[in-house]
Amino acid sequence: MIEIQHLSKSFGNLEVLKDVSLTIKKGEVVTIIGSSGSGKSTLLRCINLLEQPTGGAILFEGKDIVNSKIKIEDIRKNACMVFQHFNLFANMTVLENMTYAPRVVNGLSKQEAKEKAMKLLAKVNLSDKANEYPSRLSGGQKQRVAIARALAMEPKVLLLDEPTSALDPEMVKEVLDVIKQLANTGITMVLVTHEMGFAKDVSDTVYFMDGGYLIESGTPDEVFNHPKTERAKKFLASVL
């Protein structure tokens, strides 16, 4: 579904992605791990062009989205992002948050968008919060809304950037449970996380980034139990 080829990204003189290549298959759950500042978020943000890569190519279903004049909305509706800090629209209710883009971007009627939103809210156990504003929700509830909001777009790939890092410990599980449930539905997912146990459990493929390079990849067993590089061994020893 997505083929990233020799991707590079610089901010001014700072090169944060260096010759990154990887392939994401339809239905694959991909996890990206690595220390802070290694380029994980930037890589994720390049996939839906929240960042414009400096070099290389990203083929999305065969079409290069970096070097062609593809419409950004067409990328964003197919590659939806869930952020660490939820990024819900504060001035909209949960339902409005979830129906806005499906109506404006995907052209659903108000009724269609509402029905879809209510179904998704039921899946994340938040049917009773449809008319609340985000400020009245807990962090875990906000993140479950953000996930449901992304799903309402029926994206081809769901991108999650440290979705539990901003949560109080007691709320991490409720969000991981939702993501795990999703991972089992055949959705294509790219997840950046520091939850190593979860990554082990849920991923088809794990990538380890260091200093802007992808330096290891493989099954969870390969990367977590038999890392090849000293750098990955050291990182894993510090987090496991």
- Is residue 231 within the footprint of ligand ADP (CB under 6 A)? no
40-99 positions binding ligand ADP, by CB under 6 A: 40-42
Window of 10-18, 57-65, 112-120, 177-185 that interacts with ligand ADP by CB under 6 A: 10-18
- Is residue 41 within the footprint of Mg ion (CB under 5 A)? yes
- Is residue 193 within the footprint of Mg ion (CB under 5 A)? no
Residues 6+ apart with CB under 8 A from 80: 48, 150, 151, 153, 155, 157, 158, 159
- Is residue 152 within the footprint of ligand ADP (CB under 6 A)? no
42 binds, among ligand ADP, Mg ion, none (CB under 5 to 8 A by kind): ligand ADP
Query: Measured from the CB atom, is 60 or 207 closer to ligand ADP?
Result: 207
The DSSP result for 157-168, as a single string, is EEEEESTTTTS-
What angle in degrees, to the nearest 10, is found between the helix axes of 110-123 and 94-104?
130
Query: Measured from the CB atom, is 41 or 141 closer to Mg ion?
Result: 41
Minimum distance of Mg ion from residue 166's CB (angstroms): 12
Q: How many CB atoms lie within 10 A of CB 105?
A: 13
Query: Measured from the CB atom, is 10 or 93 closer to Mg ion?
Result: 10
Q: Are 151 and 102 in contact (CB under 8 A)?
A: no
- Is residue 102 within the footprint of ligand ADP (CB under 6 A)? no
Name the nearest CA neighbour of 101 among 160, 157, 153, 48: 153
**Rounded CA gap, 98 and 7, in Å?**
32
**Rounded CA gap, 117 and 217, in Å?**
36
Q: Write out the residues near ligand ADP by the rule CB under 6 A.
A: 11, 14, 16, 34, 36-42
Q: Write out the residues near Mg ion by the rule CB under 5 A.
A: 41
